[in-house]
């Protein structure tokens, strides 16, 4: 509304149009596929963090958790959740969440208001132990998973938009030592491993390993959904898929 000079109805319609584009892409793929896939490819609506609209970088710190009420965050998210659901997504990718408070608020929405909508929850992490706001990753995942499983519509919990090198330590802390039945299904879609700064943009490509090199260990630690975030491309997903199919 502020930056594109739209009213609220037009803004919501713009969000819905992104889902319609995804449907067009899926229909085109299905029309051109040599054989119909066993399962219809899913379209998931991206539900990003509250801090992303503040334009102050707080989606990477979660510092708004110290000053913004959970009900305010819930109200902000409902508009976007409703828009993509009305437009026909198959589920939600609740992602790049930097703080436990926001994750708990979102899980409450999904448990109480949308118990039939499938979703995963992925955190932004600042290192190999903590989510961006500083809470312990493993403890947060365990607590969130226990709450979310009350309605059984959560698919996985994990991390996205992080350096792939920190994923294994995070996942080991969540699932190591637990019997198979008690392990949490995990989701991960990291960056390429490059580093971003405002001054230099993306740097360090020469130091990056292909994501499929990490995939085997992630799967052994409980990863059920694997993909890529910033600076990853269709070819990266194809290589991950080929690796998984060859297991």
- In a domain, residue 179? The reply is yes
Res 3: pLDDT: 87
* DSSP states along 111-167: HHT-TT--EEEEE-BSSSSBBTTS-BHHHHHHHHHHHHTTTT-EEEEEEESS-GGGH
Distances (CA, A) of 155 to 72, 147, 163, 210, 225: 26, 13, 23, 26, 9
CB 85 within 8 A of CB 46: no
Q: Is 161 annotated as a binding residue?
A: yes
Domain that holds residue 163: 45-66+91-245
Helix (H, G, I), strand (E, B) or coil at 6: coil
Distances (CA, A) of 67 to 57, 70, 73, 109, 164: 15, 10, 11, 20, 31
Domain count, the chain: 1
- Strands annotated E in the chain: 44-47, 91-97, 119-123, 154-160, 186-189, 195-197, 201-203, 223-226
- In a domain, residue 120? The reply is yes
- Dihedrals φ, ψ of 184, to 5°? -85, 130
Q: Could you tell me the two tokens for 72?
A: 């305010």
Res 242: pLDDT: 96
- What is the rounded CA–CA span in Å between residue 164 and residue 182? 25
Helix (H, G, I), strand (E, B) or coil at 201: strand
Res 110: pLDDT: 97
CB 122 within 8 A of CB 82: no
- In a domain, residue 189? The reply is yes
Per-residue pLDDT of the chain (247 residues; tens, 9 = 90+): 988 999 999 999 999 999 999 999 999 999 999 888 888 899 999 999 999 999 888 999 999 999 999 999 999 999 999 999 999 999 999 999 999 999 999 999 999 999 999 999 999 999 999 999 999 999 999 999 999 988 889 999 999 999 999 999 999 999 988 998 899 999 999 999 998 887 888 899 999 999 999 999 999 999 999 999 999 999 999 999 999 999 9
Q: Is 230 annotated as a binding residue?
A: yes
- In a domain, residue 158? The reply is yes
- What is the rounded CA–CA span in Å between residue 233 and residue 230? 8
CB 167 within 8 A of CB 217: no
Q: Tell which residue, 90, 143, 146, has the closest CA to residue 118.
A: 90
Q: Could you tell me the two tokens for 48?
A: 């990003």
Q: Is 208 annotated as a binding residue?
A: no
- In a domain, residue 85? The reply is no
Radius of gyration of the chain (CA): 18
Task: Output the domain CATH number for residue 202.
Answer: 3.20.20.330
Res 30: pLDDT: 94
- In a domain, residue 33? The reply is no
pTM of the model: 0.94
Q: Could you tell me the two tokens for 125?
A: 């992490």
DSSP H or E segment with residue 26? helix 8-32
Res 27: pLDDT: 95
- In a domain, residue 75? The reply is no
Res 88: pLDDT: 98
- In a domain, residue 215? The reply is yes
């Amino acid at each position: 509304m502020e930056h594109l000079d739209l009213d609220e109805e037009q803004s919501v319609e713009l969000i819905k149009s992104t889902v319609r584009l995804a449907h067009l892409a899926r229909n085109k793929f299905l029309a051109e596929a040599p054989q119909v896939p066993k399962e219809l490819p899913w379209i998931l609506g991206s539900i990003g963090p509250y801090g992303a609209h503040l334009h102050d970088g707080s989606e990477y710190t979660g510092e708004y958790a110290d000053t913004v009420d959970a009900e305010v965050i819930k109200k902000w998210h409902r508009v976007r959740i409703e828009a993509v659901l009305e437009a026909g997504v198959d589920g939600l990718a609740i992602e790049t969440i930097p703080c436990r408070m926001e994750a708990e608020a979102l899980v409450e929405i999904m448990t109480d208001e949308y118990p039939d909508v499938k979703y995963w929850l992925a955190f932004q992490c600042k290192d190999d132990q903590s989510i961006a706001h500083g809470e312990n990753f493993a403890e947060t995942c365990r607590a969130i998973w226990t709450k979310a499983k009350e309605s059984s519509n959560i698919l996985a919990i994990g991390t996205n938009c992080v350096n792939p090198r920190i994923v294994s330590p995070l996942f080991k802390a969540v699932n190591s030592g637990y019997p198979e039945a008690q392990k949490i299904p995990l989701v991960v879609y990291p960056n390429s491993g490059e580093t971003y700064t405002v001054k230099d943009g993306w740097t360090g490509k020469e130091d990056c390993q292909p994501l499929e090199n990490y995939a085997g260990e992630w799967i052994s630690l409980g990863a059920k959904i694997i993909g890529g975030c910033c600076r990853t491309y269709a070819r990266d997903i194809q290589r991950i898929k080929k690796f998984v199919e060859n297991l």
